[in-house]
Amino acid sequence: DPMVTQWIPPQEVYSFRSTQGSGAGQIRMESRLRLYYNLENDRARIRQKVRHILQTSTARENPWRDNEDRVVRVLIYGSVAGGTGSGSFLPVAYLLRQMIVDAGWGRPSLTAVLSLPTTFINKVKPELQDDIKANGYAALKELEHLTRRLGGYPDGEERLPFHYDPGTTSDDRRFIYDRPFDISYLIDQPADMSIEKYEHAVADASYLQIFSPLLGAQKGEYDNYEKRQKQLASGYFSTHYGSFGVALLQLPRNDLVRYASLRYVARAFREYLCFGGDDPQFQVPYGSPAFERLAPDEKNRIIDQKFVEYVAWRAEQERKSDERGVFTAIYEQTGTGGKKLAEGFGEQLFSLFGKLDELMEIPEFKIQEISEGNPSISRQLNELRRTYGLSRSRVMTDYLSSLKAELKNGSLLEGFFKRYDVNPIAQRLFLIRLLEGGFISPFSDPEEGEFLKAEAARMDLDSADVQDRATRINSALAAAVDRGFFSNLIDRDNKEFTAAKRRAIRFLNELGDDQRESLQRDFWRSFQEELRLMCEQLLGAFRMVAEIADSRAREAEAATESFRKDPAAWPDSDVAQYYLDAEVLRDDRRRDRLWHIFFRHNLDKSSFFKTEDIFPLVTAAFLPRRDPDGQIRVRDASEI
């Protein structure tokens, strides 16, 4: 077969191997023979696959078809170091050229990207290095021969015999009429830098060459360079060669934004939940052995003290910046409309306390209620017993129970905080100051509420002392009524009876006031005790939230640093997309990304973060929740 014997030497020169491996055994001739065998009768369906690619890429419905230029661009990647690529890249190139022409849609444009043996020196055994060099030299000599003889140079030829289409009977397909490639890129090992995985660098450069505007730019460069390809270089060599790589300067914008977000998340935990910010002097030493050994009350005192100092410091920073910001309002404890929270809460407590007057029916007795016809206070004492019992039931059973329920489910404090738009940081400071103030009075004047703190016991209407005094008063009233004839003549107005009535009414009203104040005192002590308990629980939740948030902040900080060290661990990261790159803000000498410095100088600005959106979110997290059974209850720290 002259199609074979043209390039296969006699058997005494070379005998083909009797065994077949996965490759060509670094023998170029064996590769070409296998290709010849598979192309003949299309045993490996190579032709079928190429025809399918051509049909789909040039189909009318293909939106990427270039109807103006009508060029089918082909890029062949391979190596000239081994046997497979070195022996087959030229027949494959001419076969593809011919099949594109046969398809009839457009003209072919072929580019070769060939890796030289130098890129494999470190990957093959020393005893095989001369073989790959020989393969590369032979392949390049053959490529140069075809390019120079058919490249349109002065001493060139019209055609050369070259068999790439086994089984053909057409004389035209036994010859070639053009150089194999428009341009051949030769990939060499760089002299001034070490590239471990050169194929990755080639892949990056190829990707950008094909799928970026570089392809169009290169076409223009080829046109401008064509005039320089009319003459042989140094009078001997063709000029259709080149090399390429990637010089990539990359700004990982999305990663920087993600890093800034992670940094801000960690800081938001510290500022809005830990309430210590990034300043160590205000951070609670959670987890330290010395801190954990302290008594609970002392730990709570330190936690609250750090928090109060932090709020004061932030307010001072705002003052120095001539900015009445959110921390100024927190420190000054002002709510909606500029009203002081302590004043607003005092008004609410006074209103709650004032409702007792509506609930208590303990009467105030008048002197007219005692007459000569009924000179006794027994009826009034019975009325005191009845009205006190009724009032106590209304106050201590109904009213107090409902208020305690509101305290326990959080609605009472929530309503107050919501009315004055109090964020959680201000809530916490309010609770600390409220509990530090000692006895919580419903009166703005502390002296006015002193009776609520008194330890006096209620006068029992059935006690021996009260009954004895009542007996004496009744006797005095009876004696003043039952007087002699001469007494009536001397004292017609019965001043003695009037004086006895006044003493009786004074005694009854003293008893009424005592019953009233005793009921007020019992109510307020019980309410204040429950209020302090719930405030302490809420404050404890703030402390626990701060401790949990400190742990979350540490986790977020660790995640942030981990991301800065290796952002490529995230699936959609911008970095490490290219093997050879120069990443902005990356110090390759220290193997460190300078994102933290960039964040501090350029991104750590309030204008980049919607801090006003944080307080409503945090506030909502502290609101009571409704259980599946419909009951409202206060959230615990883990829920918050």
Please give the DSSP secondary-structure letter assigned to residue 182. Answer: S
What's the mean per-residue pLDDT of the chain?
A: 87
Confidence of residue 4 (pLDDT cuts 50, 70, 90): confident
pLDDT at 491 over 80: no
Q: Which of 8-12, 87-91, 365-369, 408-412 has the highest mean pLDDT?
A: 87-91
Q: Which of 139-143, 333-337, 536-540, 635-639 has the highest mean pLDDT?
A: 139-143
Q: Assess if residue 390 is contained within a domain.
A: yes
Give 566-573 contacts, CB < 8 A, sequence gap 24+: 567/252, 567/255, 567/258, 567/259, 567/593, 570/255, 570/258, 572/254, 573/252, 573/254, 573/255
Same-domain status, 33 and 172: yes
Same-domain status, 448 and 570: yes
Beta-carbon contacts of 632 under 8 Å, excluding residues fewer than 6 positions away, are 409, 410, 411, 624, 625, 626
Q: Assess if residue 506 is contained within a domain.
A: yes
Distance (Å, whole) CA 315 – CA 196: 56
The phi, psi pair for 626, rounded to 5°, reads -105, 120
Mean pLDDT calculated for residue range 309-316? 91
User: Which domain-ending residue is among 246, 268, 285?
Assistant: 246
Same-domain status, 344 and 407: yes
Confidence of residue 485 (pLDDT cuts 50, 70, 90): very low
Q: Assess if residue 391 is contained within a domain.
A: yes
Please give the DSSP secondary-structure letter assigned to residue 456. Answer: P
pLDDT at 528 over 80: yes
Mean pLDDT calculated for residue range 42-69? 92
Mean pLDDT calculated for residue range 501-507? 89
List C-alpha distances in Å: 615 to 116, 272, 581, 619. Answer: 63, 8, 42, 6
Other CB atoms within 10 Å distance of the CB of residue 241? 18
For 28-42, 137-151, 216-230, 246-260, which range has the lowest pLDDT when averaged over its residues?
A: 216-230
Same-domain status, 202 and 155: yes
Q: Assess if residue 251 is contained within a domain.
A: no
Same-domain status, 213 and 272: no
| pLDDT at residue number 406 | 92
Mean pLDDT calculated for residue range 593-618? 86
Same-domain status, 368 and 447: yes
Give the whole-number percent of the chain exceeding pLDDT 70. Answer: 96
| pLDDT at residue number 581 | 81
Distance (Å, whole) CA 450 – CA 159: 119
Is the full-model pTM beyond 0.85?
no
Distance (Å, whole) CA 637 – CA 548: 8
User: Which domain-ending residue is among 246, 279, 304?
Assistant: 246
Task: Indicate the length of the chain as a whole number.
Answer: 640
Q: Assess if residue 640 is contained within a domain.
A: no
Of residues 342, 525, 524, 296, the one with CA closest to residue 437:
342
Of residues 553, 637, 546, 554, the one with CA closest to residue 274:
546
Q: How many distinct structural domains can be found in the chain?
A: 2
For 48-52, 223-227, 398-402, 546-550, which range has the lowest pLDDT when averaged over its residues?
A: 223-227
pLDDT tens-digit map of 122-160 = 888 898 899 999 999 999 999 999 999 998 888 889 999
Compute the C-alpha angle 556/561/567, nearest 5°. Answer: 105
Which DSSP helix (H) or strand (E) runs through 559?
helix 495-565
Could you tell me which residues are beta bridge partners of residue 488? Answer: none
Identify which has the larger pLDDT, 192 or 401.
401
Distance (Å, whole) CA 159 – CA 175: 6
Confidence of residue 592 (pLDDT cuts 50, 70, 90): very high
Other CB atoms within 10 Å distance of the CB of residue 555? 12
| pLDDT at residue number 569 | 84
pLDDT at 489 over 50: no
Of residues 616, 549, 540, 538, the one with CA closest to residue 274:
549
Mean pLDDT calculated for residue range 52-57? 95
Crossing angle for the helix pair 411-419 and 341-354, nearest 10 degrees?
130
Confidence of residue 457 (pLDDT cuts 50, 70, 90): confident
pLDDT tens-digit map of 557-591 = 999 999 999 998 888 888 888 888 888 999 988 88
Confidence of residue 631 (pLDDT cuts 50, 70, 90): confident
Residue with tokens 């305290």: 407
The phi, psi pair for 45, rounded to 5°, reads 60, 30
Identify which has the larger pLDDT, 192 or 537.
537
pLDDT tens-digit map of 269-288 = 888 887 666 677 888 888 88
pLDDT at 447 over 50: yes
Please give the DSSP secondary-structure letter assigned to residue 608. Answer: G
| pLDDT at residue number 627 | 82
Q: Assess if residue 639 is contained within a domain.
A: no
Please give the DSSP secondary-structure letter assigned to residue 374. Answer: B
Same-domain status, 241 and 260: no
Same-domain status, 558 and 594: yes
Beta-carbon contacts of 383 under 8 Å, excluding residues fewer than 6 positions away, are 363
pLDDT tens-digit map of 509-519 = 999 999 999 99
| pLDDT at residue number 562 | 93
Could you tell me which residues are beta bridge partners of residue 334? Answer: 340
pLDDT at 165 over 50: yes
pLDDT at 20 over 80: no
Same-domain status, 178 and 275: no
| pLDDT at residue number 486 | 46
The phi, psi pair for 259, rounded to 5°, reads -60, -45
pLDDT at 14 over 60: yes
Same-domain status, 124 and 216: yes
For 121-130, 384-393, 442-451, 611-620, which range has the lowest pLDDT when averaged over its residues?
A: 611-620
Same-domain status, 550 and 431: yes
User: Which domain-ending residue is among 219, 246, 273?
Assistant: 246
Domain range for 584: 256-633
| pLDDT at residue number 22 | 64
| pLDDT at residue number 144 | 96
Same-domain status, 449 and 320: yes
Q: Assess if residue 37 is contained within a domain.
A: yes
Compute the C-alpha angle 448/453/455, nearest 5°. Answer: 130
| Token pair belonging to 400 | 């107090």
Q: Assess if residue 638 is contained within a domain.
A: no
pLDDT at 263 over 80: yes
Beta-carbon contacts of 98 under 8 Å, excluding residues fewer than 6 positions away, are 164, 165, 173
The three-class DSSP label of residue 460 is: coil
